[in-house]
């Protein structure tokens, strides 16, 4: 188990590192639209195609310079810029509107050196400085400027919500994880956190090796995505998977893998889930069932799995299906050189047995038809399945199920479901797999895996299986 967990852990870490990098880098161009300083000019035009603020929109949101030159408030009751820094601030605003960000920073530094300055003036200088630095892609300087603006205490309550969210995104981008967590918490407390913000919070706690907190925020993000009518991001479940792997929690890993499969249906997740389930399985019949799921989900990637599955099928009296499994291993290029000779011998033996089964299929069909029990019909259906004769397999399996008196009814329903899947009848396959729930002695892990497999089948035959 530990070997498997370590192997999976290395793979999972790589996926998560990529996902975190993508999500945090994407913050950079969103940060400047997260907060726009006081827009005294009213609403501004937005990008009609995307609904996102354009560069012109951002610049239009820069505080226009008030014309009142003295006092602390304008006639509207809003704070104003005094004559002390009026010239420098007008020059800075003009430079920013022209996209001359470095020149604007020089004007703002000149304004910062003047005194006395009110808290509103300091806040405005730092806001402008923050915008200019963000446009110059100096996100650390942008964060520092907005933190200085926040420290003035000049923001109104409704403005603080936007500032906390902007600082959260900047701090996350700058890898100032502790600060980002603090700002993100304040953002969420004020109800301003989006589903992506909650996702980043989960990532930040994960990077701090705080898996319990990562899980809490991850669950919030998952709920928010679902509430917004969107599928949760894959990385949220990857974080849960890695956290469970860190403490050898196989149950937690399985739960995360089930969620990841439901979200993505990726073969890599199927492979790892079935390997985990197989670790605790000691019954050959159930092990073969697990291999069937792995084979049918195209997630089998080790030649030893193909070989063991073929051996178990041979032991179960199903050489035709075993032959198909080994031939796929050989044609798929997964067979290692040291296993080729042994596999060839096994294939030759299975092929001879499969040919014998085919030659006797008419006799078996006649005997099964006359038998009042359904066991021979199920056996006949399995032989037809191994020979890729799916129509006859459906007929035989359905007849056997109708007669009942089956020693292993789960075999009948699984093969009927697999056959209908091959026949591109997903609705019928789902119904067959659903019948497994009524069986009293079926293995819970076998039941759960085939249930998941059925859930991932397409809704219509036109969709890819």
pLDDT tens, residue by residue, 192-207: 999 999 999 999 999 9
pLDDT tens, residue by residue, 431-445: 999 999 999 989 999
Q: Is the pLDDT of residue 39 over 80?
A: no
pLDDT tens, residue by residue, 74-106: 445 677 888 899 999 999 999 999 999 999 999
What pLDDT was estimated at residue 404? 80
What pLDDT was estimated at residue 303? 95
Mean pLDDT estimate for the chain: 85
- Which residues are CB-contacts of 355 (< 8 A; sequence separation ≥ 6)? none
Q: Is the pLDDT of residue 237 over 60?
A: yes
Indicate the angle between helix axes 284-296 and 444-455, nearest 10 degrees.
10
Q: Is the pLDDT of residue 6 over 60?
A: no
What pLDDT was estimated at residue 350? 96
Report d(CA 347, CA 357) in Å as an integer: 15
**Which range is least confidently modeled, 22-36, 268-282, 355-369, 397-411?**
22-36
Closest CA to 259 of 281, 243, 236, 290: 236
What pLDDT was estimated at residue 464? 55
The residue length of the chain stands at: 465
Q: Is the pLDDT of residue 20 over 60?
A: no
What pLDDT was estimated at residue 45? 29
pLDDT tens, residue by residue, 263-289: 999 999 999 999 999 998 999 999 999
What is the DSSP secondary structure assignment for residue 188, as one 8-state letter? H
What is the DSSP secondary structure assignment for residue 435, as one 8-state letter? G
Structure tokens at 180: 């980002």
pLDDT tens, residue by residue, 409-464: 999 999 999 999 999 999 999 999 999 999 998 999 999 999 999 999 998 766 65
Q: How confident is the model at residue 16 (pLDDT cuts 50, 70, 90)?
A: very low
pLDDT tens, residue by residue, 139-188: 999 999 999 999 999 999 989 999 999 999 999 999 999 999 999 999 99
Structure tokens at 227: 């509430």
What pLDDT was estimated at residue 76? 55
Give the HSE-up count for residue 247: Cα atoms under 13 Å, Cβ half-sphere: 11
What pLDDT was estimated at residue 405? 84
Please name the helix (run of DSSP H) or strand (run of DSSP E) that holds residue 62, with its range, or none. Answer: none
As a whole-number percent, the residues of the chain with pLDDT over 90 amount to: 78
- Which residues are CB-contacts of 348 (< 8 A; sequence separation ≥ 6)? none
Q: Is the pLDDT of residue 4 over 70?
A: no
Kindly report the backbone phi and psi dihedral angles of residue 175, in degrees, each rounded to the nearest multiple of 5, phi listed first: 65, 30
- Which residues are CB-contacts of 339 (< 8 A; sequence separation ≥ 6)? 303, 304, 307
What pLDDT was estimated at residue 459? 81
Q: Is the pLDDT of residue 64 over 50?
A: no
Q: Is the pLDDT of residue 43 over 50?
A: no
Kindly report the backbone phi and psi dihedral angles of residue 73, in degrees, each rounded to the nearest multiple of 5, phi listed first: -140, 150
Q: How confident is the model at residue 17 (pLDDT cuts 50, 70, 90)?
A: very low
């Amino acid at each position: 188990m530990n070997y498997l967990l370590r192997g999976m852990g290395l793979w999972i870490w790589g996926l998560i590192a990529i996902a975190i990098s993508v999500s945090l880098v994407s913050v950079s161009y969103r940060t400047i639209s997260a907060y726009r300083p006081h827009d005294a000019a009213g609403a501004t035009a937005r990008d009609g195609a995307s609904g996102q603020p354009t560069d012109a929109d951002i610049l239009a949101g820069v505080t226009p310079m008030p014309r009142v030159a003295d006092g602390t408030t304008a006639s509207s009751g809003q704070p104003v810029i005094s004559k002390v820094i009026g010239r420098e601030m007008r020059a800075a605003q003009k430079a920013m509107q022209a996209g001359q960000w470095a020149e604007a920073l020089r004007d703002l530094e000149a304004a910062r050196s003047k005194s006395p300055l009110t808290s509103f003036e300091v806040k405005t200088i730092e806001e402008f400085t923050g915008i200019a630095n963000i446009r110059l892609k100096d996100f650390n300087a942008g964060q520092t400027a907005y933190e200085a603006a926040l420290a003035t205490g000049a923001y109104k309550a409704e403005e603080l919500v936007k500032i906390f969210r902007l600082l959260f995104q900047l701090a996350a981008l700058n890898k100032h994880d502790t600060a980002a967590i603090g700002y993100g918490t304040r953002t969420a407390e004020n109800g301003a956190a989006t589903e992506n913000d909650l996702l980043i919070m989960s990532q930040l706690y994960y990077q701090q090796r705080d898996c319990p907190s990562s899980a809490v925020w991850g669950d919030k993000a998952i709920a928010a995505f679902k509430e917004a009518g969107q599928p949760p991001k894959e990385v949220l479940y990857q974080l849960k998977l890695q956290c469970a792997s860190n403490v050898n929690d196989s149950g937690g890993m399985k739960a995360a893998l089930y969620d990841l499969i439901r979200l993505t249906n990726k073969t890599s997740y199927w492979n790892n889930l079935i390997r985990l389930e197989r670790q605790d399985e000691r019954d050959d019949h159930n092990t073969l069932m697990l291999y069937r799921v792995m084979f049918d989900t195209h997630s089998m990637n080790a030649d030893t799995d193909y070989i063991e599955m073929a051996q178990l099928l041979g032991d179960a009296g199903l050489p035709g299906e075993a032959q198909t499994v080994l031939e796929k291993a050989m044609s798929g290029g997964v067979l290692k050189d040291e296993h080729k000779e042994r596999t060839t011998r096994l294939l030759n033996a299975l092929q001879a047995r499969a040919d014998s089964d085919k030659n006797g299929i008419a006799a078996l069909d006649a005997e099964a038809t006359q038998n009042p029990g359904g066991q021979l019909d199920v056996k006949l259906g399995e032989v037809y399945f191994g020979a890729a004769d799916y129509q006859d397999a459906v007929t035989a399996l359905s007849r056997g199920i109708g007669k009942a008196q089956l020693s292993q009814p789960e075999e009948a329903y699984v093969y009927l479901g697999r056959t209908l899947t091959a026949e591109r009848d997903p609705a019928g396959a789902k119904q067959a797999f659903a019948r497994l729930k009524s069986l009293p002695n079926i293995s819970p892990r076998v039941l759960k895996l085939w249930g998941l497999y059925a859930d991932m089948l397409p809704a219509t035959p036109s969709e890819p299986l």
